Amino acid sequence: AIPLLADLAAPLPGRGALPPRAHLHSDAPRQLLDGTWQVRLHPSPRHAVDDGWQQPDARLDPADWSPVTVPGHLPLQGHGSPIYANVDYPFPVDPPFPPDDNPVADHRLELVAAPEVLAHPTVLRFEGVDGAATVWLNGVELGTLRGSRLTTELPCAGVLRPGTNVLAVRLAQWSAHSYLEDQDMWWMPGIFRSVTLLARPQGGVRDVFVHAGYDHRDGSGTLRVEVELEEGADAPATISVPALDLHGVAAGVEHRLPSVAPWTAETPVLYDAQVATATETVHLRIGFRTVTVEDATLLLNGTPLLFRGVNRHEHDPHRGRVVDLATARAELLLMKQHHVNAVRTSHYPPRAEFLDLADELGFYVILENDLETHGFERVGWRGNPSDDPQWLPAYHDRMRRTVERDKNHPSILLWSLGNEAGTGANLDAIAQWTRDRDPDRLVHYEGDWRSRHVDVYSRMYASVPEVEAIATEPPAETFTDPDEQHRRRLPFMLCEYAHAMGNGPGGLSEYQDLFHRYPRLAGGFIWEWVEHALAGGTTDDGRPVQLYGGDFGERVHDGSFVVDGVVHADKTPGPALADLARVFAPVSLDLAPDLSTLTVVNRYHSLDLSHLEAVWTSDGDGSGAGTPIPLPEVPAGGSAVVPLHLPPSALATTVTVLLRRRAAGDGCPAGHEVAWTQHVPARPVAALENDPVAPRRIGGGLVELGPAAFDERTGMPVRLGELALHDVAVSLWRAPTENDRGVASEEPDLPPVADRWAAARLDDLRTRLVEVGEDGPALVVRTRTGPPVLDAGVDVTWRWTSDGTALALDLTVEPYGSWPCDWGRVGVDLRLAEPTTRVSWTGWGPGPQYPDTGQAARYGSFVADRDDYAVRTVRPQEHGARRVDEATVELDTRALRVRGAGLPLTVRPWSRAVVAATRHDHELPAATETWISVDAAVSGVGTASCGPGVLPGYRLAPSPQRLHVLLQQVDRLR
Ligand code: IPT
C-alpha cells in the first residue's frame, strides 16, 4: 500500500492543523519563507519515491532538482502545464478517488529561523497551496494541507531549531479535494500564496472576533470583542479604541457607544483598535455597520442597499492566482473609478490582505467559500459530495476556515457557502453553522433556488423579464409552501449576470433600470471583473500572445470561456468597463427636451451630492471647463428638478451636463466624472454641396460619376478619386461574437445565432446585377443578393449621385422570400488596398456601440488608432462599430471621408471571414488592407455566451432598410 495514495483519496480535512483563526496584524515576530525553493517532479504518487528526501541530511542528486519561486504555480514555471476546464472534471468522476495520472512535486527549502521567531513557540502558516500537500519539517511530518485557497497553520514547536532547518512539501495536483474545487478557472498546482513562520508568544492573542454594530435610529454603536488567548496568559486581554475613548477595556463585554460614524462603502470610516496582552498586541480596524433584511429588502444601517458588483477572481497573466497587493489595490481603485461598490470573491477567499483593502477603500464583499462541485452536473449530480455524509467534515472544515480567517472585516456583509455545488445536507449544515457562528452577517448560496437555508434569494443569469417577475411576485402569504413563503421574504440579487465575454455584455441598462425601480432587488455582480488569459510571450512582430483553454494541449477544455471580463488579464480596461461605469453611476441625470430643467436622482446609499459640482458645456464632448449649475441639497435617495436657464441658442448645440468631483477622494482624482447626460440636437442631413453632375460612359466598361468610376459589368464603384475601391457589396453578416456563438438561455432548444447564420449561409451571399440605369443625374443600380441554397434574399437599389466632389449613395434594401434567421447587420462593405493608420470621427465615442451596449458613448469628436478603432479581443470577433456623422479613415497617403447620420462604421484590416476563422488575436495577419463597413442597422450583442440572448427590441429581423451616405476621397489629415 502506498500511504500517499490512501491519503489523497480521503475525503477528509487535512491533518495536524491548529483550529482556524483570524488573520491578525500582530507585533509578534514572523519570518516570511517566500523566495526560491527547490522542486522535483514525479508523474504520479506511485512514482513518488520514498528516498528520505524530507530529511535534513538526505543525499540528493542535484540533477533531479530545480529552483521554483514561492509563491507561484508550477505549470507557469515550466513544471507541467495549465488546464482550463469550466464545469467538466479533467479526470474520471470517481469520487473520492483522484486519477493515478497525478503530478507530484516535492518541494524543499533550507531555512535558518530568525532568533526572535525561535524565541517563542512557532507555527508554520500556508495561505494557499493549490493541490493536496504533506508537510515535513526536519523530517518530522507536521500535517497535510487540503483546501487550496484556505489558510492552514501547523504547529512546529519542538521541531523548529536553531541553525539550518529543512522544510519539505510533497504536493499532488489531484486528490479527493479536487472534487470540491471545480471552479471555472485554470487548474494550476503550486504553493501560490505566502508561507510564513509565526512566533506565537505565550499568553498572546490567538484569535479575535469583533462585533461592531450601528444603530441608524440614534447613531450609536455597539462593540463587543471576543478574544481567545494562547496558553500561559496570566491576565485577560484589553481593548483600546483611542478615537472612541476606549482605553484598556475588557474583552467579551458589549460596549455601547453613544455616537459613532458608520462604515459604508461610500464612507469607509475605520477606527484603529488594539487588542493587547502582556506579550502580544494586535492591530485591527473596526467599522460599525449593521446589515439586515426587512420586507424582503436588503438594508445597510437601515437604508436599502444596491450592489453594483463584480465577480473577482485573482488572476495575473504571468503569475496566475499570485496577485500582489499593489495590483489588488490598483484593481480596487479602478473599480471605484467605475462606480463598482461590491465584490463577490468568486469562488474562494482571496489573499487575506484583500479584505483590508476592501475595508479601507470601501467595498461590500460577498466572501465565498472555496467550494464547487459543478462537474457532478454532468453525471446527473450522482455522487455529489454536497449530499454525501462522508464529506461533511470537509465541508465544515472549509466553511469554518473561510469564516474564521476574515470575520473581522466590516466590508464582508455576506458569507457565501460556495458556488455551483448542487444541493444537499452538507450545504444545509454549513449554512446553519455559519449563521450560528456569525449572526451579524447574512448567508448566501445560489445553488439552491428554494433558498431554504439562506438569507438572500440569489440567482445567476436570470433574464430581465424573469428578474422583473421576481421583483413583482405576489406577497409571501399567498404561497402555501413554507419554503416559497420564506424565499418570498428574501431580497433578490444576481450573484452573476451580464457575462462580459468578447463584444458585450449587451443589455446592462435594462437590469439597472429594474434594480432602481424595485426595492426587493439588491442589484448584482457582473460576470466577471478580469479575463483569465495567460501570457504566452510575443510574436515575431511584437504582438502579445494571450492563451486560453486548449492552448496547452489539454484534451478536456473550454476554450476561450475563461476570457470573459470587463478588464483584460493585464488589468487594462475593455470597452465594457466604461459602459458599466455609466450604468452604475450613483447619480442619474435627465435633461428636459427643451433644456429647461435637469432632473437629478441621488442613488448613493448615504452620501448627499455636496462632493460634486455640476457644469454644462456646449458643442463639445463635455471636456471643457463648463458653466456651473447650482445644485440644491439632494440627500441620499432623494431627487431634485433643477432649473437650468440656458440661453435659447443652446438648444441647437450639443449640451453636455456633467457631475464631477470637487476634490480628490474615494479613489478618484478631483474632476472625476461621476455622471453625465447630453442633449444632441437634430443634425442636418449630410448632402452634396454643389449641383449634381451626370454619369458618363468613359470607355473600358466604366461609367464615371464625379470623382468615382463604376464597373458596368457589376454596377459597383471601383474608384473614388485616387482610391481604388474593391469588393463593394451589401452584407448581412458579422463575424460572430462570442455571444453570437452561445445558446441563449431563453431559447435553449435553438442553435446559437452564429449557427443560424451559418446554416443560412449569411456569410456567403451571392449577387446578381439586375440593371444599371440612370435617373436624371443619378446612376441607379439594382442588384439581388442572397445566399446559395435558399430562395430568400434582398433586393437592393443603389442610387448614386455626385456633385463632382463627393459621391452620395442612397441605398434601399428589401428582403424577399422567407428568411430563416435574423440578420447580424445590414450595410455596405468595401475594401481599400492599403492599411488605415487611424480613424477620426464626429459622432458617438470614444468606445464602440451596438444597440444594447455603448452606454458610455457620447457625442463629440474623437480619434483612434487602427487597433483601438477595431477593438481587438483575445479571440477575434465583430467589434468596434461607432455611430458617426462624419469620419475620416486615414491611409498612408490619402483618406476616405464618410458622412451620414449616426451610421455604424466599422474599420479593420481584415475581412470578416478572416476574423471569424482566427482563434487568437496574435494569429491575425499583419495589416495590409482596410475593410470598411457602413451600416443601415446592426443587431445587439446580448449575453448568450452565458445567459440571455439579445433582447427582442435589439434584434435585427429581416426588414426593409435604408442607408444614406456620402463618400469622398480627401487628403490625409495632419
Ligand atoms: C457560472 C459560474 O458560476 C462561473 O464560475 C462561470 O463559470 C460562469 O458561469 C460562466 O463564465 S455557472 C453557469 C452554468 C451559469
Q: What is the CATH number of the domain that holds 918?
A: 2.70.98.10
Per-residue pLDDT for 17 more than 80? Answer: yes
pLDDT number for residue 2: 82
pLDDT number for residue 6: 93
Extract the C-alpha cell encoding 443. Answer: 448567508
Apex 67 CA angle, 63 and 71, nearest 5: 150
Pair (575, 631) in one structural domain: no
Q: Are 815 and 794 in contact (CB under 8 A)?
A: yes
User: Model confidence at 50, in pLDDT bands (50, 70, 90)?
Assistant: confident
User: Model confidence at 857, in pLDDT bands (50, 70, 90)?
Assistant: very high
Intra-chain end-to-end CA distance of the chain, in Å:
78
Per-residue pLDDT for 19 more than 70? Answer: yes
The answer as to whether 712 is a domain residue is yes
Pair (448, 591) in one structural domain: no
Pair (736, 842) in one structural domain: yes
Tell me the residue type at 575. Answer: P
Distance CA 858, CA 678 (A): 7
Atom of ligand 1 nearest to the CA of 460: 15
User: Model confidence at 952, in pLDDT bands (50, 70, 90)?
Assistant: very high
Pair (805, 711) in one structural domain: yes
Tell me what percent of the residues of the chain surpass a pLDDT of 70. 100
CA 275 to centroid of ligand 1, rounded, Å: 41
User: Model confidence at 112, in pLDDT bands (50, 70, 90)?
Assistant: very high
Pair (275, 174) in one structural domain: no
CA 601 to centroid of ligand 1, rounded, Å: 34
pLDDT number for residue 450: 81
* Nearest CA, atom 12, ligand 1: 420
Locate all alpha helices (DSSP H) within 41-91, ordered by sequence: none
Distance CA 796, CA 730 (A): 8
Q: Which of 199, 215, 231 is the last residue of a domain?
A: 199
Mean pLDDT for 386-408 is 98
Tell me the residue type at 54. Answer: Q
Atom of ligand 1 nearest to the CA of 528: 11
Per-residue pLDDT for 550 more than 90? Answer: yes
Extract the C-alpha cell encoding 128. Answer: 494557499
The answer as to whether 553 is a domain residue is no
Per-residue pLDDT for 310 more than 70? Answer: yes
Q: Which of 242, 269, 292 is the last residue of a domain?
A: 292
Residue 64 belongs to domain with CATH number: 2.60.120.260
Atom of ligand 1 nearest to the CA of 947: 15
Atom of ligand 1 nearest to the CA of 564: 11
Mean pLDDT for 547-564 is 97
State whether residue 725 is helix, strand or coil: strand
Apex 951 CA angle, 946 and 953, nearest 5: 165
Atom of ligand 1 nearest to the CA of 495: 3
Per-residue pLDDT for 624 more than 80? Answer: no
Within 13 Å, how many C-alpha atoms sit on residue 930's CB side? 27
Mean pLDDT for 623-643 is 94
Pair (491, 597) in one structural domain: no
DSSP labels, 150-185:
S-EEEE-TTT--SSEEEEEEEEES--GGGGGB--SE
Pair (869, 771) in one structural domain: yes
Q: What is the largest CA-CA distance in the chain?
A: 108
pLDDT number for residue 448: 86
The answer as to whether 550 is a domain residue is no
* Nearest CA, atom 10, ligand 1: 946
Extract the C-alpha cell encoding 240. Answer: 483600546
Condensed to tens digits (0 to 9), the pLDDT of residues 795-811 reads 999 999 999 999 999 99
pLDDT number for residue 39: 98
Condensed to tens digits (0 to 9), the pLDDT of residues 834-856 reads 999 999 999 999 999 999 999 99
Atom of ligand 1 nearest to the CA of 420: 3
CA 184 to centroid of ligand 1, rounded, Å: 7
Q: What is the mean pLDDT of the chain?
A: 97
Pair (700, 662) in one structural domain: no
Pair (31, 51) in one structural domain: yes
Condensed to tens digits (0 to 9), the pLDDT of residues 654-699 reads 999 999 999 999 999 999 999 999 999 999 899 999 999 999 999 9
CA 947 to centroid of ligand 1, rounded, Å: 10
Distance CA 500, CA 738 (A): 10
Mean pLDDT for 349-366 is 98
Pair (51, 103) in one structural domain: yes
Number of domains in the chain: 5
Atom of ligand 1 nearest to the CA of 377: 14
Residue 475 belongs to domain with CATH number: 3.20.20.80
Pair (396, 282) in one structural domain: no
SS3 content of the chain, % helix, strand, coil (to 5): 15, 35, 45
* Nearest CA, atom 13, ligand 1: 946
Q: For helices 464-471 and 508-517, give the axis angle rounded to 10 degrees.
A: 10
Locus of grid cell 475593410:
931
The answer as to whether 942 is a domain residue is yes
Using CB distances shorter than 6 Å, the residues near ligand 1 are 86, 184, 347, 419-420, 460-461, 496, 499, 527, 561, 564, 946
Condensed to tens digits (0 to 9), the pLDDT of residues 243-295 reads 999 999 999 999 999 999 999 999 999 999 999 999 999 999 999 999 999 99
User: Model confidence at 793, in pLDDT bands (50, 70, 90)?
Assistant: very high
Q: How many CB atoms lie within 10 A of CB 440?
A: 15
CA 499 to centroid of ligand 1, rounded, Å: 9
CA 315 to centroid of ligand 1, rounded, Å: 16
DSSP state of 763: T
Distance CA 225, CA 206 (A): 13
Nearest to 21 by CA among 109, 166, 138, 150: 150
CA 946 to centroid of ligand 1, rounded, Å: 7
* Nearest CA, atom 4, ligand 1: 184
Residue 596 neighbours by CB under 8 Å, 6+ apart:
643, 644
The answer as to whether 802 is a domain residue is yes
Residue 682 neighbours by CB under 8 Å, 6+ apart:
none
Catalytic residues: 420, 496
Q: Which of 647, 679, 711 is the last residue of a domain?
A: 679
pLDDT number for residue 131: 98
The answer as to whether 684 is a domain residue is no
* Nearest CA, atom 9, ligand 1: 946
Q: Which among 87, 311, 946 is the best mutation to test ligand 1's pocket, defined by most ligand atoms within 8 Å of the CB? A: 946
Interstrand relation of 587-591 and 597-602 (parallel, antiparallel or unpaired): antiparallel
The answer as to whether 554 is a domain residue is no
Strand segments (E) across 673-758? 673-679, 696-699, 702-705, 708-711, 716-720, 723-731
pTM of the model: 0.97
Nearest to 945 by CA among 496, 475, 331, 402: 496
Pair (211, 326) in one structural domain: no
The answer as to whether 782 is a domain residue is yes
Mean pLDDT for 776-802 is 98
Strand order across the 291-294 sheet: 291-294, 297-300, 303-304
Distance CA 332, CA 356 (A): 12
CA 75 to centroid of ligand 1, rounded, Å: 24
Condensed to tens digits (0 to 9), the pLDDT of residues 703-744 reads 999 999 999 999 999 999 999 999 999 999 999 999 999 999
* Nearest CA, atom 6, ligand 1: 184
Residue 272 belongs to domain with CATH number: 2.60.40.10
Per-residue pLDDT for 157 more than 90? Answer: no
Give the bridge partners for 282, in sequence order: 26, 275
pLDDT number for residue 974: 57
CA 428 to centroid of ligand 1, rounded, Å: 22
CA dihedral sign of residues 793, 794, 795, 799 = negative
Supply the range of the domain harboring residue 344. Answer: 299-532+566-581
Condensed to tens digits (0 to 9), the pLDDT of residues 583-623 reads 999 999 999 999 999 999 999 999 999 999 999 999 877 77
* Nearest CA, atom 5, ligand 1: 184
pLDDT number for residue 623: 78
pLDDT number for residue 49: 82
Find the length of the chain: 974
